[in-house]
Every structure is written in C-alpha cells, then in structure tokens.
Structure 1
Amino acid sequence: MTLFERYLTLWVLACIVVGIGLGTALPGLFTLIAAAEVANVNLPVAVLIWLMIIPMLLRIDFSALGKVGAFWRGIGVTLFINWAVKPFSMALLGWLFIGWLFRPWLPEAQIQSYIAGLIVLAAAPCTAMVFVWSNLTRGEPHFTLSQVALNDAIMVVAFAPIVGLLLGLSAITVPWATLLLSVVLYIVIPVVLAQVLRRRLTAKGGEAAVERLLALLQPVSLAALLATLVLLFGFQGRQIVAQPLIIALLAVPILIQVYLNSGLAYLLNRMTGERHCVAGPSALIGASNFFELAVAAAISLFGLNSGAALATVVGVLVEVPVMLSVVWLVNRTQGWYEAGPAVQRRQVAAPLAQPLP
C-alpha cells in the first residue's frame, strides 16, 4: 500500500478543508466551473474522472476471465453479494436511516438526493483498491484478478439497469439519458481505451511496459482524485459548515453496508468450503465500492452541488479505515474459518499442497 493509499482518509479531510475554504473565498470560480457543461456532463470533472479511472482499468487483464471456473465457489459468492445483495441492501439502509431515522437532522430538499448517491455508490464494485486489500489478506491473486475482470465486464451492462431500478423504487426521477451517457463515458469508453492501450503495451514490452506506464500515471490519477474532491467540497462547503453532522449521518449506512456484505460473503465462502485465500478477497470485493465511478455518475446525474455527489464522497472518506478493519478481521479469524466443517472436508478431499479446482 502506498503512502497515499494508507492515509487516504487524511487526504480527504484535507480536501474538505481546502475545498470549503476555496468555495467560500472564490465562489465565482466555482460557478464558472459548474457552468462548463455539455449534455449535463461537467467537462472539467469528466477530464479528472478519466484521469482517475483509466489508470485503474489499465491494471485489469480481461484474459483472466478464462480462469473464472477455477474459483467457481468464491466467484459465485462474490457475484451474489455484488449484484444481488449490495445495491438492494444499500437502498434499504438509505431509506431506513436517511429517509426515516435521520430525516429530522438533514436538509429536507436533499433527502432523496442523498439516498440516490448511496445507491450509485453501492452499484459499482471496487476495481483498483481491491488488489491492495487482497494482498494484505494474502489472497489468491488469480482469483482477485479474474473476479475484478468479471465484475468490470458485468458493470458495462448491469450498472445502468440496477441504478435505474433502485432509483425508481426509491421514487427518485431517473434521468435515463444522462444515466446511459454516464455509463458510456465512465465505463465503456475507459474500459475500451484501457484495454487497447494495455494490449499495445504488452505486445511491445510485456507486463513490465504496463507497470512502467502505471508508475508514471499513478501520481496523475491521485492528483485528479484530490482535485475532484476539492471541487465537490467547494460546492458543498456552505451546506457542510451549516450542518457538519451530515457527513457523520451519511457514513452510518455506508459502514453498516460494508460490514454486512463482507461478513455475509465471508460466511457463505466458509459454508461452501472455499479456501481462506479466496474467501478473504471475496469478502473485500463484496464490500468495497468503485467510488471514482460513483462520484462521476452522481455528478452527471444530479450535479456537482447535489446531495448525491456528497454521499458518494463520504464513501471515499471512510473507504480506507473501514476496509483495513475488514482486512484485520479476515486475518484474525483465519483459524476459525479453516475449522469450518465444509472447509475441513474440502481440505481432506484435496490437500492444500495440490491445486484446488
């Protein structure tokens, strides 16, 4: 884990301070940035999002999809959590906490927008940071790569329908044209560009060429993330200063969702007899979010100064500490996990010294 990734929460807090300060001192500049739109897409933010997303997608080798069958138990559990549980559980938690329990302490005009942001956040499984979490749990690298590649392929076709369905169920007007445009801009085009670039690099210099380019792009990607956060908090500054409790309240359903889905994935893997080195990354992939995509989609759908955009940014704020806590739990419970009856039976049938299908 890089220094930036380890202290991401601190960087986000710094962006909150800088963004609020700039938004208060230079309101005209932020108004000008907000006006730079084409078809409801903010151009400065779109450029920043591309700079964030494309380097992350460059890490994904879609040829890894051929290895999916070797980890069918873990793959099945993770797909179930990512696409059948997580978005729907977040919609329920958003309605329960934001739409009901916390409603008296939140601005009424933004309630539905906050819920929409939480739904968008949960509908996009994590891509880049998963490799960090998997490494910290001594996870099976081939499983992690194949699972992420499969999730990215599914996201191309499933992200818009799931978001549209859940926004409709939450009685939020779905701007379908903008939603589909967001999918094309922030999923389809970056995936295609990243894969074309990856193939050209590997054809000339193998994986080493990809790693060299990633080393150059990584600082640019991180700078783009910080700049996007500064812009978001510049627009949200007055609302946050007036009601600083908002961030803490929005974090509650996100935290519950992470522990609920990671715990469920971990237990289901144990029940099916999957190895711990697969169950660990499976739980982490099932719980974490592709917050860069979520931020981009929320901005496109609801605007830079919307409650939806703020809700997705809270996901960035809590990402590192909460996922590190899940890593700690996974590592500390390895003995309990491997004592599970199904895991024991599978170890007897196929000892760890031999590759398990």
Structure 2
Amino acid sequence: MNDEQGTAVPMANTVQGELVESQSRSLFARLSLLDRLLTPLIFLSMVVGVLIGVFVKNVQHAFDTVQFHSVSVPIAVGLIIMMIPILTKVRYESLSHTFLSRKLWIHLSFSLVLNWIVGPFVMLALAWATLPDLPTYRTGVIMVGIARCIAMVMIWNGLAGGDAEYCAILVAVNSVLQIVLYSPFAVLFVDILGGATSGGQVHLQYGEVAISVLIYLGIPLLAGIVIRLTLLRLSPHFFHHTFIPIFSPVALIGLLYTILVMFAYQGHHIVTNITKVLRVIVPLVLYFVIMWTGAMALLWTLARKEVCKPSRGKVFNYETTVVQAFTAASNNFELAIAVTIATYGVGSDQALAASIGPLVEVPVLLALTWLAQAIRVRLDWGISECNSRCLESGSACVEDKERA
C-alpha cells in the first residue's frame, strides 16, 4: 500500500468525524432555550417534588381531596395540558393520505407486536426475576407493563425528532386496543401468570378502562383538533408562525408541573419504603432500556438492509424508528395508577409500585431522547443510498417529498 492509499482512510474518517460533530452541534443549536434546559429542570422538579412530599404534611391528602377517575385532579390536569400542544401540531388534514400508505401499515404491524406481545411478556419476566418474594409489588409492576403507551411518549418523540403523525396514529390505535385488551390482559398476566393470591386478584370492567383512555387521550385529542382546524381556517400564517411558537412550550411546562406534582404526591411513600422502592426500580429500568434499544436496533437493521425503490422511498428511517422505540418503551401509567388505586386502594403496595413507573420512566426516557439524537447523526440509516437511486432514476426522492 502506498502512502496516498495509507493516508486516505484516516483522512476519510477524520472528515466523517468532523461531519458528525458538526451535525450534532447543529441539532443542539436548533433546540429552544427551554429544550436545552429541560433535563436539569426535570431533575430539579423531581428533587423539589420529593422534598415537598416529605416535609409538607398531608400533601397527599390535599391532592386526593378531588379525584378524576381515581387519579388526583392536579396530576390529571397536568397530563391533559401537557398533551394538548403536541396534539395540536399533528397534521390531521393529511392523515387520510398517511392511512393509505403501505409504510404506515408496516409500522402499525410492528407496533402491535412490540406493544401487545413483546412488551407485556418482557415486563412479566423481569417482574418475576427481580421481585419473586414481593408479590404485591410485582403485581403493580405487571400492571404497568400491560398498560401501553399514551401520554408522555409524545413528549419523548417530539424531543427526539420523531414523526409526529405516525406517533399520534400509533398512540391512538394502541389506546383503542387498551379498551378491549387491558381487562383480559390483567386477568391473564396478574391472576394467572402473575401468581396473584386470593384477595389480590384483579377484576376489571371494560368501562373503567374506556373512561381512563377517553380522559387522558380523548380530551386533549379533541382540544388539539378543534384548536388546529379553527385557527387554520381563520389564518394559517398566524397559526404556524405566531400561535404554535408561543403555544408549544406549554407542553414542556405541563410536563415539569406534572413531574413536580407526581413526585410530591409519592415523595413520602418513596422515602418510607425506600428499600422496596429501589427493588421496584430495577425491573422498570431494565424494561425501558431493553424495549427501547431492542426496537431501535431491530428497525435500524431493517433500515440498513432495506432495498430502496425511488417510486416509494424508504419504509424504515430514523423518524419512524424512534417512534417505534419510544412507543414500545413507554407505558400508560395514568391507567395503571388509576386501576391499581381503584382495585387495591391508594395506600396499597400495588398502587405504590405502579406510581413508581412514571417516576422511573421520566429520567430514563429523557436520557434516551439524547441518545436518540446522537444515534440520528452517528449511524448510517441508508438515506444516502436511497437518494442516489432516486437521482439515477431522475426523480425526487419520496422521503424528500414527504418532508416537504
């Protein structure tokens, strides 16, 4: 090998490394001030919430004074407010075209398998492996595992730069399925596979699950649709350039408020049951990491191996892969908490274990949003090869058309 050939590879690697670093800086530069400060603000909200729960007397009783379907009203209000800005940005006017695409149905199939077959059994296995001697806490963890994604997944997807329309569709479909499947899944995974003893078994009515889904998805979804379509009819320019930039931060403010209230609500229980809480954290962290990395690795592999056709573009790309990863790893903790409180009582071990779910999910999935952004620029998603095929065919790439 001559000197020119010997130096070519290091030079190419250097150029590629500089390009990746430049893209990473560009992604960070596009973040708003609130987005950049979100991580420390979330951890600050968690710490302040725990301190409030420990040192402010009767704070949980005050939150429980008014409840919304077995969930404290302050928490319910925060969850609903958090969802409305995200669902306002979904392009409902173009969803009919999205539903006709082959790409959506492929991703919907993946989502159903990950959410309703893989996810519940992974959580069941982790709960038994880590909590064999704590059956009541194990039940709470399992209840989280069978409650599939609904609310915060849209926050994480937005922060990671995933496809908002695909995320909204997958969340909506999984939410409808929850109405039908949560009750029989609870009987199967808690009573039969979960080893619940007499008196600890769960018996759910479909109506209870339906009400929870309608509250935490139906209300913000309806509000988002009404706001978007009304303002677009009045003035599209005002909606896109004035309203959305002002309204979008409300979602993150709602997230911070919800985290503060949740940690304040459970702060005393966390401290007084710290040993068991730490044990409950183990299967939850493992679950979030395994489901996220597994989904991301699977779809990235498919994206790399996919043969792109200019007429239809790529089925697997970063924007849809990150949607799958976060919907697979996220859970509908609102439903799990509401059901465990209604079934076992607000002070039960099951309710405490279910309540730990979002307290663990928040920091873990927040960290994964940053990992997703790094993966976005550091991994090859096969886009360059697809674009080359498009140029050879003399037509614009389907991916570019969809982004436009």
Segment drifting more, 291-300 vs 151-160: 291-300
Aligned counterpart, 1:329: 375
TM-superposition CA deviations, 1:310-330 (whole Å, max 9, x none): 213322211222133233234
Counterpart of 2:130?
102
* In 2: Cα distance, 1:202 partner to 1:291 partner: 34
CA distance in 2, matches of 1:207, 1:178: 42
Match of 2:59 in 1: 29
Match of 2:27 in 1: none
**Shift in Å at residue 89 of structure 1?**
1.7
| SS in structure 1 at match of 2:90 | coil
In the other structure, the counterpart of 1:64 is 94
Q: Is the 8 A contact 2:153 2:326 kept in 1?
A: yes
1:90 matched to which residue of 2?
119
Q: Kindly provide the amino acid, as one letter, of the partner of residue 164 in structure 1.
A: S
Cα pair 1:55 1:221 within 8 Å, conserved: yes
User: Alignment partner for residue 18 of structure 1, among 29, 48, 51?
Assistant: 48
Residue 188 of structure 2 aligns with an amino acid whose one-letter code is L
Distance 1:260 1:114, change over 3 A: same
Residues 1:250 and 2:284 are matched in the alignment: yes
Residue type at the aligned position of 1:160 = I
Structure 1 residues 249 and 85: CA distance shift in structure 2, 3 A: closer
Question: Which range moves more in the overlay, 165-174 or 307-316?
Answer: 165-174
Q: Does 1:183 align with 2:213?
A: yes
Corresponding residue for 1:139? none
Q: Secondary structure at the match of 1:288?
A: helix
Q: 1:161 to 1:327 in 2, by over 3 A?
A: farther
Query: Is residue 293–residue 325 contact of structure 2 (8 Å, CA) maintained in 1?
Result: yes
Structure 2 equivalent of residue 197 of structure 1: 227
Give the drift of 1:159: 3.3
TM-score under structure 1 normalisation?
A: 0.81
Task: Confirm or deny: 8 A CA contact 1:338 1:344 kept in the other structure.
Answer: yes
Question: Residues 80 and 10 of structure 1: is their aligned pair in 2 closer, same or farther, counting only changes over 3 Å?
Answer: farther
Q: Does 1:79 align with 2:79?
A: no
The aligned counterpart of 2:357 is 311
State the one-letter code of the partner of 2:167.
V
| CA RMSD between the two structures | 3.4
Shift of 1:31: 0.9
TM superposition shift of 1:43: 2.3
Maintained 8 Å contact 2:143/2:354:
yes
Q: Which has the higher contact order (CA 8 A, sep 6+)?
A: 1
Aligned in 2, Cα 1:147/1:207: closer, same or farther, shift over 3 Å? farther
Residue identity opposite 1:116 in structure 2 = M
Counterpart position of 1:115 = 142
Aligned-partner SS, 1:93: helix
Is 1:154 aligned to 2:173, yes or no?
Answer: yes
Rounded to whole Å, the distance in 2 between the matches of 1:252 and 1:169 is: 22
Instruction: Name structure 2 gaps, 5 residues minimum.
Output: 1-30, 192-201
In structure 2, how many angstroms separate the alpha carbons of the residues matched to 1:257 and 1:40? 29
> Which residue pairs with 2:17 in the alignment?
none
Mean CA deviation greater in 218-227 or 287-296: 287-296
Asked if structure 2 preserves the Cα contact closer than 8 Å seen for 1:118 and 1:311, the reply is: no
Deviation at 1:123, TM superposition (A): 6.5
Question: How far has the Cα of 1:255 moved from its partner?
Answer: 0.5
Task: Report the Cα offset of residue 9 of structure 1.
Answer: 4.1
> Between Structure 1 and Structure 2, whose CA radius of gyration is higher?
2
| Residue 285 in structure 1 maps to residue 340 in structure 2 | no
One-letter code aligned to 1:178: E
CA distance in 1, matches of 2:46, 2:366: 16
Q: Is the 8 A contact 1:284 1:326 kept in 2?
A: yes
Pair 220,333 (structure 1): closer, same or farther in 2 beyond 3 Å: closer
Contact map agreement 1:257 1:287 (CA 8 A) in 2: yes
User: The residue matched to 1:35 in structure 2 has which SS?
Assistant: coil
Cα 1:222–1:134 shift into 2, 3 Å: closer
User: Mapping of 1:120-159 within 5 angstroms?
Assistant: 120-122=147-149, 126-134=153-161, 144-155=163-174, 157-159=176-178
When structure 1 is superposed on structure 2, of 174-183 and 244-253 the one drifting more is 244-253
Q: 1:170: Cα distance to partner? A: 0.9
Bigger drift between 82-91 and 35-44 goes to 35-44
Once the two structures are overlaid, the 10-residue window that deviates more, 188-197 or 52-61, is 188-197
| Inter-CA distance 125–21: structure 2 relative to 1 (3 Å threshold) | closer
Pairing partner for 2:79 from 36, 49, 63: 49
Residue of structure 2 equivalent to 1:298: 336
Contact 2:269/2:352 (CA < 8 Å) preserved in 1? no
Give the TM-score normalised by the residue count of structure 2: 0.73
Amino acid of the structure 1 residue aligned with 2:74: P
Equivalent pairs counted in the alignment come to 343
Task: Among all aligned residue pairs of Structure 1 and Structure 2, give the percentage whose two residues are the same amino acid.
Answer: 18
Q: Distance in 2 between matches of 1:115 and 1:159?
A: 15
Equivalent-residue separation in structure 2 for 1:266 and 1:130 (angstroms):
16
CA distance in structure 2 between the partners assigned to 1:265 and 1:124 by the alignment = 23
Distance 2:81 2:330 in 1: 10
CA drift of 1:202 comes to 0.6
Cα pair distance change 1:70/1:127, threshold 3 Å = same
Equivalent pair of 2:390/2:396 in contact (CA under 8 Å): no
Structure 1, unpaired ranges of 5+: 136-143
Q: Does the Cα contact within 8 Å between 1:133 and 1:284 map onto a contact in 2?
A: yes
- Summarize deviations over 1:91-127 as a string: whole Å, max 9, x none: 11211112x22115x8542211122123325467933
Q: Which amino acid aligns with 2:287?
A: P
Moved more, 53-62 or 266-275: 266-275
- Structure-2 change in CA distance of 1:193 and 1:210 (3 Å): farther
Tell me: CA distance 1:182–1:200, structure 2 relative to 1, closer, same or farther (3 Å): same
In 2 relative to 1, CA 191–248 (structure 1 residues): closer, same or farther, beyond 3 Å? same
